[in-house]
Amino acid sequence: MSEQKTGPEHRQNGRAPIELKVDYKKLNSFFADYTKNISKGGTFIKTKKPLPIGTRFLFKLTVPHREAPFELLGEVVWSKADADEPGMGIRFIYSSEAQRVEFETVVEGLMSDSLGGELTEKLLNKPLHSHS
């Protein structure tokens, strides 16, 4: 009776078996991606072999000046294989509002430390919380 089930009924604690690692070598490229895509709750990954829509996976973002990678659950929401820029659209699935706020706060802190508060505010179009 060891029937292997895959799919929505059989998820281990919301953990996804697939891991995608995105390794940013420069903080500036991470910030550019963050302000353009990630802050909206998802991102685009260039790949010639997009995962099927609905696939959930663990998304690990490695960022300079930060020891541990950010770990977020992601889900493929759209993909295009035959295009000038093949890839897939990812939506982040935060386990709670608190996780989303924590992620955003840490990123904003990184940006503020490296770019300065005023520039960070301009890039994000919102006032930063002061941590003084």
Cα within 13 Å of Cα(101), Cβ side: 4
**Length reported for the chain:** 132
Residue type at 9 in one-letter notation = E
What CATH number does domain 19-124 carry, 3.60.21.10, 1.20.1630.10, 2.40.10.220, 3.10.580.10?
2.40.10.220
What is the token pair recorded at 4?
């292997």
Question: pLDDT in tens for each of the 132 residues of the chain?
Answer: 544 444 444 444 555 689 999 999 999 999 999 999 999 999 999 999 999 999 999 999 999 989 999 999 999 999 998 778 899 999 999 999 999 999 999 999 999 999 999 999 998 887 766 554
- Residue 22, classed as helix, strand or coil, is strand
**Dist. CA 87–CA 59, nearest whole Å:** 15
DSSP H/E element including 107:
helix 97-115
Domains of the chain: which residue ranges? 19-124
